[in-house]
Structure 1
Amino acid sequence: MINFAPFYYRPATCYLGLAIALVEEMGASSIESYRERIVAGPILSSMVRLGLPLMLTDIIFLVYNLTDAFWLSKFSSYALAVPRQNWPVFLTFFSILFGVSSGGLAMLSQYVGAKMYDKASESFSKFLTLCLSTSLALFLVYSLTKDFVFTCLVRVPPEILEDTLGYAEIMSFDLLAFGFAIAVNTLMHSLGDTKTPAIAMAMGMALNAVLDPLFILGYGPIPAMGARGAALATVLTRFLSAVMVLYFLFTRYRYIKVRLTKSLDSPWLKTVLGVGLPVSVMTLSDGFAFTFHLSLVNMFGAIVTTAFTIGFMILDIANSAFRGFTMSISVMVGQNLGAGNKERARKIALTASHILVLFVSCGAVVILLTRGHIISAFTSDYLTTLEADRLISIIAWILPSVMLSFLGMSVGRGSGHTIFPTMVNVIRFWAVRIGLGYVLAFALGMGVLGLWIALALSDVFGGLASYVWIRWGGWVRPIIKERPIVEVTLKTSSEGFRSSS
C-alpha cells in the first residue's frame, strides 16, 4: 500500500516527537468532539453547526454558476445557456461517483458513530482509490463521446452548439478534480467537519470571481474566450479547492492515514455498491431524464431554452439556501445509527423535514415577490422575460416538496438504505415530469406550459412520497457490523509514537 500522507522520520530529540504526537492527538480529540455533539448533543444546534457550512458550500457552488452566467450574458445574448446544456450530461457521468460517495459516506459516518476509527481509516483508503480510478475512466469516456452526445442526443440549438462543445472540452477535466474532491470532502463530512471544505470552496469561489471576467471577456494579453473561459476558470479553481482540503486533512487529522490500495476486498466493495448502486442508478436516470427533458424544452427554440435556464438559476437560489441542511442529515443519521441511536436518528430526520418545509416556504414567497427584478439582471429580451416569469410563477410553490425529496435521499445516504428514494426519483422524473409532460405539451397541445405543469407535479409527488418514507420507513438499520462502543477507543498518536520508539 502506498502511503500518500505526510510522514516523519524518527526524531533526533524527544521534543520533536512530543510535538508530532500532540498535533496528531489534537486531531483525534477533534474527531471525538464532533462525534459527541452529533450523537448526544442538542439536535437543532448540531444540525445548524453541520448544516451552515454545507449551506455555504451549496451557495458557493451556485455563485460559481451565477458568476459564469452573469459574465456570459455580457459576452453574448445566448451564451449564458451554455453551462445549462452541459450540466445534465455531466450529471450523467457524475452518477457513478455520486453512488460511490454515498456508500462511502454511510460506511464512514457509521464507523465514526460506532467509534471504530481504525475501520474508518482503512475504509477511506479504499474509498479514495475507487474514486480516483473511477474519475479517470469517466474522463476518458466523456472526452470520446461528448461531440455525439451534444449534437445528436441533447440537440443543442445551432446558435450555441460551438460554444457548448468548447465548454464541454475544457470541463471534461473537471471530472478528474471532482473524483478527488468528492473523496476528501466525504471523509471530512463523515467526521463531522463540514467547515473545512466550505472554507476551501469559498477561497476557490473568490478566485473564480476574479478569473471569470478576465477569461470570458478578455483583458490585455488575455483573449476573450466566452464559454471556454468560464469553463477554464471553473476547472482551475476547483482543482485548487480540492488541494486545499487535502492539505487541511494532512495537517489537522493526522490520525487518518491517506493511502492508495492495490486492490479492493470483496466484502467492502459489496457493501459500498449495495448502498451506492441505487444512487448511481438514480443519478444516472436523473441525468438522462434531465437531458431528455432539456431536449423537449429545446424543441421550442432558444428563447424558451434561455428562459428555462434563467428560471432554474433563480429557483436554485432558494434550494441552495437550505439544501445544505439536508446534506447534514446524512452525517447525523449515519453517526447515530452507528452509535445505536435508532430512535434519535428518526427524530433527527423528522425535525429537519418540519423545519425545512417552513423556511423553504418563506423562501418561495420571496422568490415570487422579487422574480421580476432578478430576471432583469440576466436578460432584457421581452419574450424571454415573459417565459421565465411564467415558469417561476408555476413552480415556485413546490419548493418545499423539492426539499423533502432532497431530504429523503440524504436520509438514505446516511442510513445506507437508498432503494426507496431511488424508486421515488425514477417515477418522479420519467413517469411524471417527462411522460406526463410530453402528453400535456404535445398530445394535448398545451405547448411549453404543459412541460412546466408536469415539472411542478413531479416535485409534489417526490416530496410527499419522501416524507411518508422518512416517518414510517424501515431505514433505521445500520449497514456496518457493530462492535460494542465501550470496547473501541481512539488510539492517540502519542501511544502510537511511544510504541514505535
Structure 2
Amino acid sequence: MTKSTLSLKQIGSLFKQAVSGKEQEFTSGSIRKAVFMLSVPMILEMLMESIFAVVDIFFVSKVSVNAVATIGLTESVVTLIYAVAIGLSMAATAIVARRVGEKEYEKASQAAVQVIVLGIVVSLIISAIGILFPKEILQLMGGENDLVAEGFGYTQILLGGNVTIMLLFLINAIFRGAGDASIAMWALVISNVLNIILDPILIFGLGPIPEFGVKGAAIATTIGRGTAVVFQLLVLFYGWSKIKVRIKDVVVRIAVMVNLIKVSLGGIGQFLIGTSSWVFLMRIMSEFGSEVLAGYTIAIRVMMFTLMPAWGMSNAAATLVGQNLGAKQPKRAEESVWKTGKYCAYFMGLVSIVYLVFATQIVSWFTSEPNVVSAGSLCLRIMASGYIFYAYGMVVINAFNGAGDTVTPTIINFVCFWLFQLPFAYLMALTFDFGPTGVFLAIVFAEVLISIVAIIWFKKGRWKLTEV
C-alpha cells in the first residue's frame, strides 16, 4: 500500500484480504496497510454491534413510546455491564497483543482462558440481580408506573442473559488482540442476522409464536448473541485463530489472572466512570418526560451507528500499539496512532455534516411523534458538532489502553465526566432551565475536553514504558 493512489480493484483486493483474515503480520511493512487491514473488519464488527441497537429501536418504536423509553432506561443500566466487559476486554486485547508481538502464543492462550472465566463469574452475579429486581431497576432509573409494567420483562431477560453480552465482548477482544479481527467481525454478523430475523417475529408474533412486545426484542438479542458466543468458542477450541485453547489451558492460573485483573482494574474503573455518568444523564433526561427520553434514546442509537466504526478504528490502533510494543517498536506504535486518528477524523467529519443537515429526517424514520422527533433531532445536531474531536479522542484513549496503560484514561475520564460533565449538565438543564439542551451541550463539551487532554498526555510518551 504505497502513497500513490490505489485503484478500485486494488482497494477491493485489500478489502477482501481484510475480511478473510489473511493478513497476520502487523509489526512490519506498511503502517497504512496494517491500519487498513485491521480497521476494515473492526469497523464492520462495530457496525454489526450498532445494528443491534438500531434494529431493536426500529421495531420497538412500532409498539409504543414507553417501549422505546424502556430500552433507553435498560440500556443505561446495561452500560454498567459494558463497563466491566470493556474494561476486561481492554486488558485482554493489551495482554494478548503484547504476547503475540513477542511470539508467545501459548501465554496468549492462557490469558484468554482467564478472561473468559472472569467474565462468566461477573455475569452470573449481574444475572441474579436482573432476574430478581427488574421492576426496581426501572423505578430507580425514574421509569413511570405504566412504563415499568409494560417493560420490566425486557429488563429481566436482557440482564438475566447478560453472559452473552459479556462473552461476546471478551472473546472478540481476544481475537482483536491476536490480530484476528475478521473472526470477531463474523461473530457479530451471525448474531445480527439472527437478531434481524427474530426481532419482528418475537415482538409482533408469527403463526404459533405469540406476540411478546418489547420483551421479544430482548429474547431475540439474547438468542443472537448466544449463538455468536458458541461460534467464538468453537473457533478458540478448534484452532481457527492464532489463539488456540487446549484442554490443558482450561485451568485457573493465579499469576496470569492477577496480571489480567491488575490491567483490567484501570479499564473497568475508566468505563464505570464514563458509563455511570451516562446513567446520571439519563436520570436527568427522565425529568422531561417519556417523549423527550424516547427522542434522546433514538438519537443515541443512531449516533452509535457511526460511533461504532470510529470505535473500530480505535480498536485497530490499540492492537497495533500492543503488538508493536511487544515487538520493541515504540516509534511504529506511535505513528500507527496518528495515522489511525487522521483517517477516523475524515470519516467522522463527513458523518457530522450528514447529521447536521438531515437530523429531522433521520429521526423521523423511527417515529412520527412530533415531540419525539424534535428532541431527537436537536440531540443529534448538537452532538454531531463535536464529531471530529470524538475521532481523535477515541483513537488516542484506546491507544493508551492498547499499551496496557489503563490508568491514564481513567484519570482523564474522572476529571472530564464526573468533575465537569455531570455538574455542568445538572446546572444547565435544571438550574438554568436550558432543559435537554443543557444535557446535550454537557456531553459535547466533555468529549472535546477529553480529546484535548488525551492528545497532550499522549505526546509525553510515558505509555511506551508500560509493562503488561
**If the length of structure 1 is used for normalisation, what is the TM-score?**
0.84
Deviations 1:367-421 (A, max 9, x none): 2122222111111122222222222222211012222332233112210001111
Q: Which residue of 2 aligns with 1:431?
A: 419
What CA distance in whole angstroms lies between the structure 2 residues aligned with 1:207 and 1:149? Answer: 28
What CA distance in whole angstroms lies between the structure 2 residues aligned with 1:219 and 1:340? Answer: 58
User: How is 1:281-320 mapped onto 2 (pairs within 5 angstroms)?
Assistant: 281-320=269-308
Q: Which residue of 2 aligns with 1:252?
A: 240
Deviating more after overlay: 334-343 vs 78-87: 78-87
What CA distance in whole angstroms lies between the structure 2 residues aligned with 1:113 and 1:173? Answer: 37
* Residue 129, structure 1, aligned to residue 113, structure 2: no
Match of 1:39, SS state, is: coil
Contact 1:361 1:397 in 2 (8 A): no
* Residue 75, structure 1, aligned to residue 70, structure 2: no
Judging changes above 3 Å, is the alpha-carbon distance between structure 1 residues 34 and 174 closer, same or farther for their aligned structure 2 residues?
A: farther
What CA distance in whole angstroms lies between the structure 2 residues aligned with 1:248 and 1:432? Answer: 44
User: How is 1:222-301 mapped onto 2 (pairs within 5 angstroms)?
Assistant: 222-249=209-236, 250-253=238-241, 256-259=244-247, 261-265=250-254, 267-301=255-289
Of residues 188, 200, 203 in structure 2, which corresponds to 1:216? 203
Judging changes above 3 Å, is the alpha-carbon distance between structure 1 residues 306 and 170 closer, same or farther for their aligned structure 2 residues?
A: same
Q: How far is the alpha carbon of 1:285 from its aligned partner?
A: 2.1
> Computing the radius of gyration over CA atoms, which structure comes out larger, 1 or 2?
1
Flag structure 2 segments of 5+ consecutive residues without an equivalent: 1-19
Of residues 171, 180, 184 in structure 2, which corresponds to 1:193? 180
What CA distance in whole angstroms lies between the structure 2 residues aligned with 1:468 and 1:131? Answer: 34
Q: How far is the alpha carbon of 1:341 from its aligned partner?
A: 0.4
Q: Which residue of 1 aligns with 2:4?
A: none
User: How is 1:132-151 mapped onto 2 (pairs within 5 angstroms)?
Assistant: 132-151=120-139
Which amino acid in 2 is paired with 1:190?
Answer: G
Judging changes above 3 Å, is the alpha-carbon distance between structure 1 residues 253 and 450 closer, same or farther for their aligned structure 2 residues?
A: closer
The alignment of Structure 1 onto Structure 2 pairs a total of residues equal to 447
Judging changes above 3 Å, is the alpha-carbon distance between structure 1 residues 343 and 279 closer, same or farther for their aligned structure 2 residues?
A: same
User: RMSD over aligned Cα, in angstroms?
Assistant: 2.1
Q: How far is the alpha carbon of 1:471 from its aligned partner?
A: 2.7
What CA distance in whole angstroms lies between the structure 2 residues aligned with 1:208 and 1:185? Answer: 18
Deviating more after overlay: 293-302 vs 424-433: 424-433
Judging changes above 3 Å, is the alpha-carbon distance between structure 1 residues 126 and 453 closer, same or farther for their aligned structure 2 residues?
A: closer
Judging changes above 3 Å, is the alpha-carbon distance between structure 1 residues 272 and 135 closer, same or farther for their aligned structure 2 residues?
A: same
Deviations 1:86-107 (A, max 9, x none): 1121121332332222222211
Contact 2:318 2:400 in 1 (8 A): yes
Q: Which residue of 1 aligns with 2:333?
A: 345
What CA distance in whole angstroms lies between the structure 2 residues aligned with 1:360 and 1:309? Answer: 21
Which amino acid in 2 is paired with 1:74?
Answer: K
Match of 2:65, SS state, is: coil
What CA distance in whole angstroms lies between the structure 1 residues aligned with 2:115 and 2:422? Answer: 35
**If the length of structure 2 is used for normalisation, what is the TM-score?**
0.90
Contact 1:408 1:469 in 2 (8 A): no
Q: How far is the alpha carbon of 1:119 from its aligned partner?
A: 1.7
Flag structure 1 segments of 5+ consecutive residues without an equivalent: 1-29, 481-501
Deviations 1:331-383 (A, max 9, x none): 11100000000111111111111221222111100121222221111111222
Deviating more after overlay: 155-164 vs 460-469: 155-164
What CA distance in whole angstroms lies between the structure 1 residues aligned with 2:165 and 2:295? Answer: 29
Contact 1:155 1:298 in 2 (8 A): yes
Q: Which residue of 2 aligns with 1:485?
A: none
Judging changes above 3 Å, is the alpha-carbon distance between structure 1 residues 45 and 255 closer, same or farther for their aligned structure 2 residues?
A: closer
Judging changes above 3 Å, is the alpha-carbon distance between structure 1 residues 143 and 283 closer, same or farther for their aligned structure 2 residues?
A: farther
Which amino acid in 2 is paired with 1:238?
Answer: R
Q: How far is the alpha carbon of 1:255 from its aligned partner?
A: 6.8
Which amino acid in 2 is paired with 1:227?
Answer: V
